[in-house]
Amino acid sequence: MSAPAEWMVLLRHGHSEWNLSDRFTGWSDIPLTEVGIAEAAAAGRRLVQAGLAFDEVHGSVLQRTRQTAEALLTAMGTPEVPLYTTWRLNERHYGTLQGMNKQEIFATWGEQASRRWWRGYVEPPPSLDWDDPRHPRFDPLYAALASDGLPASESLRDCQQRMLPYWNDVLVPRLRAGRRLLVISHGNTLRGLVMHLEGLSAEEMERVEIPSGVPLRVRFAADLTVLGHEWLAVPAVVPVA
């Protein structure tokens, strides 16, 4: 019988197209920029330097995580490592904020409420209307899921509760079997996972930042309790003029 894994790596996808205009992306399926792809490749080289290799990669169904996985695994020289995707690892759904930039949001709802929505744990942003074309029920990516189970907006707590069944039912058994896992996801989804793993309060979670393109290695005891974590620093990627 395999010994439980001693570590797991978490990674937030690289720079995407909507980062350029400071727009809230959420479940919008926006691709990486060339900088984002270069960030993923740099993370892959850093992981090789750290002596790490993977049996499996798990990511969201959004293309920016798939592109990150492909560029990273290619840079590691292991493009054959399987990638498993699930909507449960999607970014938090930002409701009506999706597609808007921060200045537009401030102008519409005010800065205080807006910051409470995107940094707080409990309160979700305003929901999309059922017939809004941005609602995920219209997206072919989710055609196999029940429409009434798809979010029209999520708080960080909602996002965390949507993600945790995948952690408990899929990732934990693989870690117990000794599988070396890389989880490529999104800032809020990974914040919720870190909060769960390290037993952080809602107040402590609000101070947690997950930088894009920087691997986070989480170390486990034999019972998969968290012993600690470390960031694997990656040289900054400079855009080509």
Catalytic residues: 13, 91
Alpha-carbon gap, residue 125 to 206, rounded angstroms: 16
Can you list the alpha helix ranges (DSSP code H) found in 77-154? 102-109, 111-119
| 216 and 46 Cβ atoms separated by less than 8 Å | no
Alpha-carbon gap, residue 219 to 6, rounded angstroms: 6
Look at the block and give the residue holding tokens 């498993």. Answer: 84
CA-angle at 113, arms to 107 and 117, nearest 5°? 110
| 186 and 209 Cβ atoms separated by less than 8 Å | no
